[in-house]
Amino acid sequence: MSASGFSDLREKLKSMTPHRDNYKNRVTGKDDSYKNRKVKVTDGGNSNGNGRKRKHRDSSEDEVERSDPVESREQEARRVQSGIVQVEVFSKEDCDVIEGKINEVVANGEAGLYREHTVDRAPLRNKYFFGEGYTYGAQLEKRGPGQERLYPKGEVDDIPTWVHDLVINKLVASGVVPEGFVNSAVINDYQPGGCIVSHVDPLHIFARPIVSVSFFSDSALCFGCRFQFKPIRVSEPVLELPVRRGSVTVLSGYAADDITHCIRPQDIKERRAVIILRKTRPDAPRVDQSPSPPERHAPLKAKRSHRRADPDAAHRPRVLEMDKEENRHSSSSSRLHRRSNSSENYRRRSQDGDGSRKVKMRRH
């Protein structure tokens, strides 16, 4: 036996680290008194030089914490999936006909045949609102969910007849939506690399479900992504849902209300279009149409722009005329002042050196 009283080096190490036995007991379930407790180990100031105590968590706790996000993500993906229905309704021949009609919409938009708020252009993606249109994104005076507003009635074109005949009626016949449900149709036309950032279709604007039909090419609808810009980057989705050409996707429940969805740039490899069919709520708020001020006898001509009209625009010509009048008065006074100073200086220069002679000046 050594001088220290230990016959085996393992016994000495065991006596120096008694907390390891407690840890083993916890892992094997032999000692329940240590559950949910943290073990504090004192260094004695040797390891970090400042004598402070370090807190250690068991590796088993770390493993639980590391696994929780993964399990939570899987659970959320299942919740999202529970609110999605996909059906095949449109054949290849149906798609060919509908895609020809979408091309006509694009041509009409390029020719300026639609009302002001029917067409909304963005880089690599154009929107065409029919039936109902609404403000969103940069168009909002106040940003954030709940601030979206429907445009006043008549601000966008009616739903084209071909959308009713070729798309909506077929969905009604297939039992996807009830008769008379759809009063808003939006066509999103994406070029390769186009996208739409993560969002939830405004709950105060649209009833559920949200129905979309894909055309031209296959793509994917992603849920739970975060976008970053300059350069654009997108986080991994909670769920990536393939959407095939001609497929119908119906969102409700958790998928429609409790998680964002988006189209990532990397998922638009070819031109793609989607027709989104929705029903607006009867109490959905609309953009205010402020009455004309009493001093205006005729309303101002509407601007063909998404920017709000300057409320002072009507007064600006009058202000300019007042400025002109003030400038004329100011200029006239300045000239009189300069002439007065010039006459006084001339009178002084005309005097004799001794000041005995004065020259009478005639002012003009």
C-beta atoms surrounding 285 within 10 Å: 15
Alpha carbons 269 and 190: distance in angstroms, whole number: 10
Alpha carbons 118 and 132: distance in angstroms, whole number: 9
Alpha carbons 1 and 12: distance in angstroms, whole number: 12
* Burial letters 107-144, b for 16+ CB under 10 A, else e: ebbeeeebeebbbbeeeebbbbbbbbbbbbeebeeeee
Instruction: Specify the length of the chain in residues.
Output: 364
In contact, 55 and 217? CB cutoff 8 Å = no
305: closest CA among 125, 120, 140, 108?
Answer: 120
* SS3 readout for 207-218: CCCEEEEEECCC
Q: What is the DSSP track for 36-51?
A: T--EEE--TTSSSSS-
Catalytic residues: 134
Burial of 362 (0-12, 13-18, 19+ CB in 10 A): exposed
59: closest CA among 26, 30, 31?
Answer: 26
**Whole-Å CA distances, 166 to 45, 98, 128, 209, 255:** 79, 7, 17, 20, 27
* Burial letters 34-68, b for 16+ CB under 10 A, else e: eeeeeeeeeeeeeeeeeeeeeeeebeeeeeeeeee
In contact, 203 and 147? CB cutoff 8 Å = no
**Whole-Å CA distances, 255 to 77, 86, 92, 262:** 9, 13, 28, 12
